[in-house]
Amino acid sequence: MKIDDYNETIKACRYCLMCRHECTVGNITQRDTNTPRGKSLVLFAEQKNLLEWDRRAIEVMYECTNCHLCREWCVSEYDVAPLMMAARADIVDMGLAPAGAVLMKDNLNNSGNPYGETESKLEEWKKSIQKKSKADILLYFGCTTAYRRPEIAQSAYAILKHLDANMTILDDEPCCGEPYFIMGYQKEAKLQAERSLDRIRESGAHTVVTTCPTCTLSFRKSFKEWGVEVPKDSRFIHISEFIDEEIEAGRLNLNGVLQSSVTYHDPCSLGRELGIYDAPRKVINTVHGVEFHEMRLNRNYSPCCGNGGGVQATNINIALGAGENAGKVILETDAKILVTACPSCKQSLRKHVPGMEVLDISELIARVLK
């Protein structure tokens, strides 16, 4: 069992209450079973044959947003999220995957994206632009940007175009494989990761700029953990880092003015997983006229938007509840504009911050280019 690799976490967390006040899911359901302690107790009981893998035990393993907040509040830095991913892999191996996980796997197998859609929202736009077969920079959008938030892709493209970057995009961009992995389909995730890297190699690019931080995380960190060999001469960078570097180098001048108050929400993958906190804030504060309002819970304590961990497919009420809780913290800032750096965060949070305009950092910068 893959959970056996996390015995130390199970033993340490099963009787500890330290982090239950911050658990994204526990704060929604108000069930101790959904806290890191409760999840660890369930897995301990499974290991000792005190509990069967019944419907409820399986549900608990899939009721995690993979946000890693528990690690941030733990003095010993134990993290239950990787344990949940291992538990899901065991559940898949036993043939007990829940319907939502199976549906996402089938969507990926049949349509190449977790949404099961035959055509992204970028297809017509892609036909209108000239693309190079090979270039130094590949702009990689990711599934959520392409199928749910096309305006982020178009804004990122506009920024690179403004810089006259030697770039290209992929006509049939593959999924990075992370949706397979979070649902427990680890073998499929590895195969998909290799397919995505093959396409990147074909582009000739040595720098891959992503609009989705989960894709950045996959390329930069997760692939190696999955046993996928990543080209040593390839650099994977999130669009917020890219913009920051271009501003620092003097190649990108933001001459436009945006007279408004702005707050920023740290995405889980970009912040807690990759440690990218400063670049987005530096970029936002470079915009003339911006009055920056920091959220009460920010950086490594930023609330999860609810769109992580696949819970949208397995328990939509948890996804909505997390988004609502995050929205309350965001609204405390009284800012007029919410900026995030993740298409999934924008997709979730725009429903929970009434009266605020929600922009991805690419959209913010594209707006003030002249």
- What are the pLDDT tens digits along the chain (370 aa)? 999 999 999 999 999 999 999 999 999 999 999 999 999 999 999 999 999 999 999 999 999 999 999 999 999 999 999 999 999 999 999 999 999 999 999 999 999 999 999 999 999 999 999 889 999 999 999 999 999 999 999 999 999 999 999 999 999 999 999 999 999 999 999 999 999 999 999 999 999 999 999 999 999 999 999 999 999 999 999 999 999 999 999 999 998 999 999 999 999 999 999 999 999 999 999 999 999 999 999 999 999 999 999 999 999 999 999 999 999 999 999 999 999 999 999 999 999 999 999 999 999 999 999 7
Sheet bearing 235-238, strands edge to edge: 167-168, 137-140, 207-210, 235-238
